[in-house]
Amino acid sequence: MPSTSPPSRFNPCSEDGVVLQVAAANWELLRRVPAFQAVAQQWIASEAFRFEHVSEKKAYSANPQARCALDWMLTPEERYALAQYQMRHRLFFSDQAANYGPIVMQVHLENQTTRLEECIDDIFQVTPDPGPGGVVCIDQPWPATPPKFRNQFVAIFAEHDLKEIKLIEDDDRLLRIGNAFVSGRVLSSEELAGLGRYLFQLGGHLRRISLDFKMAAIRCALYSERQLDEILHRIKK
């Protein structure tokens, strides 16, 4: 007699590791949200809707989980067309890892001539992914989704919540640059162009750090456990 028991449902806790379990659970919850289902239906059906939706910062830019899923619901050609629209309207993300979906990106920082957001189409070379491994569908449980989608979706939850930020390398470079100016040495046009690119990149790096982290500086010293607890209490407050 064939089995009449219902098929077992996917359990996110069956994934190996906390980060994978969290990512899988978020996908399983996301695909069941009626509001997301309604957006996904329009997103797949209409390019005009996609162009309008990527311009809504709260709905698209500020929600990386939904953004990653939506971008992977497109074919490589559809995602490429959307990327071109984003670049033309300065909606493409300057952080390469924040651009999801079946596209391949190459970054040419040597082409930077102004703020990263303003010359993004000169720096990023985007092509359709020739081997995306499939598209994402609402009815897919986590293990059935394309591996490349899962890798990008998991990365959203694998970000560091605690990070030591070291600026000593940039400090040394800035000291050398300052010394060159103070000494009166005339820089060649190539050196000036390289300096400009470096300063643009450094500014973008510091800006991303400021947006991604709430920074509290603790002086390098030996502290008693009581002093350290008091410092951490003030940070928490």
Closest CA to 16 of 27, 26, 24: 24
Instruction: Identify whether the C-beta of residue 67 lies closer than 8 Å to the C-beta of residue 60.
Output: yes
Coil, helix or strand for 144? helix
Which band of pLDDT confidence, cut at 50, 70 and 90, is reported for residue 45? Answer: very high
Q: Which amino acid is at 193?
A: A
Q: What is the band of 25 on the pLDDT scale with cuts at 50, 70, 90? A: very high
Q: 112-156, pLDDT tens digit by residue?
A: 666 666 667 677 889 999 999 999 999 999 999 999 999 999 999
| pTM for the full predicted model | 0.69
- Return the amino acid letter for 105: M
* Residues of the chain above pLDDT 90, percent: 43
Look at residue 166 in the predicted model and tell me its pLDDT.
78
Say if residue 200's pLDDT is above 90. Answer: no
CB-based contact 126:103 (threshold 8 Å): yes
pLDDT reported for residue 112: 67
Tens of pLDDT, residues 158-177? 866 667 777 777 777 788 77
| pLDDT mean over 38-50 | 97
